[in-house]
Chains A and B, each alone.
Chain A
Amino acid sequence: MKHYLSSGIAASLLLGSASFAFAASELTIESWRNDDLSIWQETILPAFMKSHPDVKIRFSPTAPTQYNAALNAKLEGGTAGDLITCRPFDSSLDLYSKGYLKNLQGMATLDNFPDSAKGAWSTDDGSATFCVPMAAVIHGFIYNKDAFAEIGVEPPKTQAEFMAVLDKIKEDGNYIPMAMGTLDQWESATMGYQNIGPMYWKGEEGRKAIVAGTGKLTDDGWVKPFEVLADWGPYLGDGYEAQSYPDSQTLFTLGRAAIYPSGSWEIAGFNKDTDFELGAFRPPLPAEGDSCYISDHTDIGIGLNAASKNSEAAMKFLEWMGTEEFAELYSNAVPGFFSLSTHEISLTDPLADEFISWRKDCQSTNRSAAQIVSRGTPNLWNEMWVVSANVINGKQTPADAANQLQKGLSAWYEPQMD
């Protein structure tokens, strides 16, 4: 034992002392988008480094579930990367007000973004902007064109048509009508409630009413989408309660499900993994002739770590993110993530093009819990995950779910207190 111990320690000391030096001159981007790792490594960063040969830059993603925790710890400890990928609204605002993100006001290419985009990464009074808007994602339904042709159904426009299509697919029996699971809960909230909801709560109008305290989450426009979700259960795959997000994706890409409620961010992956033709349709209108609202969510930005030792080089990258070159490159490299800049860009991916075309007829809105109303306890966004899953699982009635959200919000949010 003695021999074993001492030789072990000697070995560890020897090896440990050769600990590798850490290259400091390189910029690091913190991100949760580990799906995009190869796109950044092979397309986006090389393009930047070609025009800026003096700057070296590395994309370093963390698993989405650990991103916030790991980032917070690294920021506090002072070891976070130079460039920080920003979630929209409050979680980044929190980083800014703690002094971890630099105010980017005055950066030249920031003017290439409309206020609506910058709003997701600005203080409530708009005096400071702390992340460069990168992309928005649009909610909708992706479908298997071959399956639709085989069964003989057309993409639905209204809720009634939507239900008729689901019934028909179910009757046909060859396909699971919709690929969605409730295990991860956020699928229920984002691909369910936030996907179809804006049509009912009338987009920004409804969202702003909640923030202002003039509307309530128990109003018709907020309960109706839950009622629609409550009918989804029978059209999902067997055991959907234990189906995770990757399970849903697989179910659809293997061609076993006909419709996939989701959003534009799936496009890149689906293009690669499917061998059938893909189409997309908008969330169904509540009734013929209603006006159209889509969730066009400002999803990703990039900010500058206030403690960065390479802020000059990092600023070069941020400036570049505001150029047309980046907008064009990024939107086409990661189809389905739409650049937020005002540049006119052409999309080569037909499916991405379909999604973005909805902006012409529909009004865009952000996810309803993203701004201001998720700052307290209980956290509205977390609660939305839980109750949306409950409603689809048939564990909670739509009215109950809406009540729980409203009660929780009014417990701490002053404009909503009675």
Chain B
Amino acid sequence: MVIERKKKPFRWHVLVFLGPAIIVYTMIMILPLAETLRFSFFLRDTSTQVVSFAGLENYIKLFFDPYWAKPFLNSLWNNCYFFLIHMLVQNPIGILIAALLSMVHLPGRKLYRTAIFMPTLLSFVVVGFIWKLMLSPLWGVSKGLMKSVGVGSWYLPFLGKEETALTTLSLISVWQFIGIPMMLIYAALLSVPDEVIEAAECDGVTGISQFFRIKLVLILPTIGIISILTFVGNFNAFDLIYTTQGPLAGPNFSTDLLGTILYRTFYGQQLQPGDPNMGAAIATVMFFIILTGVAIYLFFIQRKLTRYEM
């Protein structure tokens, strides 16, 4: 770090470095978003179309009117579940794959890496379509495959059952995004200094125990970043549900996420007129939920993690 130099006049270069980012970001992201959030304090009279200041009315409705609160809490709960599945499935598998890939002299690793990263590059339109088709009872691919490995009787219309739809979609999302944790952890594992590994080997710490006791500890900050990115991504998720289950996130709202309820409220759907004011209120609440999660990470988890950094 450079120590503040006393006599130095205004440091223009700081401005030059920061300027472009701040300008683009403020103009195109912050101002429009602030404008939207401002909506949440207003109400539009549906018959006269007059917009008037309403204070916290939208928020009160969102939390206390059962016809808003119940769907909202439902989507919040679904979202937590969606996130949980990602943390329990995506990240451990990502670590496992990265660990295997980073084994010394593993031939063909480039092929594996490319293959596993592939789905990450596909658009939601393609992913939604592929999986809808794979799981479709009409096409029978998943049923046939399950039969061929002897579990044909386990087949269910997974996307159409309240009990299985959300889990299925979470796993599809894991399938799609597993490449990201894999890639980041792989890079982090490669950057573990050789001296550390050699020192561990001298102490007789090798193989699996070396991985858990040395490497995993060293890459914890990366895992932390991945977790927080997963959190933010999951709580903003919407496209996958929208393309596979439609705007009402069926069956019976069992796959409704914060993103889908927000979108539906803000822009409306078929005969439901869009309500930007209520939509903005939902967006604001979402923002605070995500902010809380990120704050917890920054102030409690990350501090502990960085202590181990090299």
- A–B touch (CB < 8 A): the answer is yes
The residue of chain B having its C-beta at the shortest distance from the C-beta of A247 within the complex is B138
Q: Say yes or no: A244 contacts B132, CB within 8 Å.
A: yes
In the assembled complex, B272 has its CB within 8 A of some CB on chain A: yes
Q: Say yes or no: A242 contacts B159, CB within 8 Å.
A: yes
CA distance A395 to B160 in the complex (A): 12
CA distance A357 to B212 in the complex (A): 76
* Shortest Cβ gap from A227 to chain B (Å): 19
Instruction: Report the count of interface residues on A (CB-CB < 8 A).
Output: 49
Q: Which of the 9-residue segments B21-29, B85-93, B261-269, B292-300 touches chain A? A: B261-269
* Shortest Cβ gap from A401 to chain B (Å): 11
In the assembled complex, B246 has its CB within 8 A of some CB on chain A: yes
| Residue in contact with B157 in the complex, picked from A73, A97, A239, A389, CB distance below 8 Å | A239
In the assembled complex, A144 has its CB within 8 A of some CB on chain B: no
Q: Say yes or no: A395 contacts B162, CB within 8 Å.
A: yes
Q: Chain A residues with Cβ under 8 A from B138's Cβ?
A: 237, 243, 247, 250-251
In the assembled complex, A65 has its CB within 8 A of some CB on chain B: yes
Q: Say yes or no: A389 contacts B252, CB within 8 Å.
A: yes
Given contacts A370-B271, A379-B272, A382-B272, contact A242 B250 (CB under 8 A): no
Q: Say yes or no: A68 contacts B253, CB within 8 Å.
A: no
The residue of chain A having its C-beta at the shortest distance from the C-beta of B139 within the complex is A247
Q: Say yes or no: B267 contacts A385, CB within 8 Å.
A: no
CA distance A90 to B46 in the complex (A): 11
Q: Chain B residues with Cβ under 8 A from A377's Cβ?
A: 65, 67-68
The residue of chain A having its C-beta at the shortest distance from the C-beta of B246 within the complex is A184
Write out, one digit per residue, whether chain A residues 370-389 have a CB within 8 A of any chain B CB (1) or not (0): 10001101111110011001
Q: Say yes or no: A239 contacts B137, CB within 8 Å.
A: yes
Of the candidates B67, B158, B247, B272, the one having the most CB atoms from chain A within 10 angstroms of its own CB is B272
* Shortest Cβ gap from A254 to chain B (Å): 9
Q: Say yes or no: A73 contacts B137, CB within 8 Å.
A: no
Q: Chain A residues with Cβ under 8 A from B47's Cβ?
A: 97
Q: Chain B residues with Cβ under 8 A from A395's Cβ?
A: 162, 251-252
In the assembled complex, B120 has its CB within 8 A of some CB on chain A: no
CA distance A98 to B143 in the complex (A): 50
In the assembled complex, A369 has its CB within 8 A of some CB on chain B: yes
Q: Say yes or no: B268 contacts A181, CB within 8 Å.
A: no
Q: Chain A residues with Cβ under 8 A from B162's Cβ?
A: 395
Q: Say yes or no: A69 contacts B274, CB within 8 Å.
A: yes
Write out, one digit per residue, whether chain B residues 232-272 have a CB within 8 A of any chain A CB (1) or not (0): 00000000001001111011110000000001001111111
Q: Say yes or no: A241 contacts B68, CB within 8 Å.
A: no
CA distance A73 to B155 in the complex (A): 42
CA distance A237 to B139 in the complex (A): 12
The residue of chain A having its C-beta at the shortest distance from the C-beta of B160 within the complex is A241
CA distance A389 to B266 in the complex (A): 25
Q: Say yes or no: A65 contacts B246, CB within 8 Å.
A: yes
CA distance A374 to B68 in the complex (A): 16
The residue of chain A having its C-beta at the shortest distance from the C-beta of B125 within the complex is A63
Given contacts A181-B160, A241-B160, A395-B252, contact A68 B270 (CB under 8 A): yes
Q: How large is the interface on B (under 10, 10 to 19, 20 to 34, 35 or more residues)?
A: 35 or more
Q: Say yes or no: B158 contacts A386, CB within 8 Å.
A: no
Q: Chain B residues with Cβ under 8 A from A241's Cβ?
A: 157, 159-161, 251
In the assembled complex, B52 has its CB within 8 A of some CB on chain A: no
Q: Chain B residues with Cβ under 8 A from A72's Cβ?
A: 267-268, 274
Q: Chain B residues with Cβ under 8 A from A369's Cβ?
A: 271
Q: Chain A residues with Cβ under 8 A from B156's Cβ?
A: 239
Q: Chain A residues with Cβ under 8 A from B136's Cβ?
A: 239, 242-244, 247
Q: Chain B residues with Cβ under 8 A from A408's Cβ?
A: 67
The residue of chain A having its C-beta at the shortest distance from the C-beta of B158 within the complex is A242
Given contacts A182-B160, A183-B245, A241-B161, contact A68 B250 (CB under 8 A): no
| Residue in contact with A183 in the complex, picked from B159, B271, B274, CB distance below 8 Å | B159
Given contacts A239-B137, A389-B252, contact A381 B159 (CB under 8 A): no
CA distance A184 to B248 in the complex (A): 8
CA distance A393 to B250 in the complex (A): 12
Q: Chain A residues with Cβ under 8 A from B266's Cβ?
A: 69
Q: Chain A residues with Cβ under 8 A from B248's Cβ?
A: 185, 382, 385-386
Q: Say yes or no: A242 contacts B272, CB within 8 Å.
A: no
Q: Which of A150-204 touch B at CB < 8 Å?
A: 181-186
Q: Say yes or no: B250 contacts A73, CB within 8 Å.
A: no
CA distance A393 to B156 in the complex (A): 13
Write out, one digit per residue, whether chain B residues 117-135 have a CB within 8 A of any chain A CB (1) or not (0): 0000000000000001001
Q: Chain A residues with Cβ under 8 A from B246's Cβ?
A: 65, 183-186
Q: Chain B residues with Cβ under 8 A from A243's Cβ?
A: 136-138, 157, 160
The residue of chain B having its C-beta at the shortest distance from the C-beta of A411 within the complex is B67
CA distance A182 to B248 in the complex (A): 12
In the assembled complex, B114 has its CB within 8 A of some CB on chain A: no
Q: Say yes or no: B67 contacts A185, CB within 8 Å.
A: no
In the assembled complex, B19 has its CB within 8 A of some CB on chain A: no
CA distance A181 to B159 in the complex (A): 12
* Shortest Cβ gap from A343 to chain B (Å): 29
Known: A91-B268, A185-B250, A242-B135. 15 other contacts (CB 8 A): A72-B274, A87-B271, A89-B271, A98-B49, A186-B246, A243-B138, A243-B160, A244-B132, A377-B67, A377-B68, A382-B248, A382-B271, A382-B272, A386-B250, A395-B252
**Residues of B bordering A, CB below 8 Å:** 46-47, 49, 65, 67-68, 132, 135-138, 143, 155-162, 242, 245-248, 250-253, 263, 266-274
**Residues of A bordering B, CB below 8 Å:** 65, 68-69, 72-73, 87, 89-91, 94, 97-99, 181-186, 237-244, 247, 250-251, 369-370, 374-375, 377-382, 385-386, 389-390, 393, 395, 408, 411-412
Q: What are 16 of the A-B contact pairs (CB < 8 Å)? A: A65-B247, A72-B267, A73-B267, A182-B250, A183-B245, A239-B156, A241-B159, A242-B157, A242-B159, A243-B136, A243-B160, A247-B138, A369-B271, A375-B273, A377-B67, A385-B250
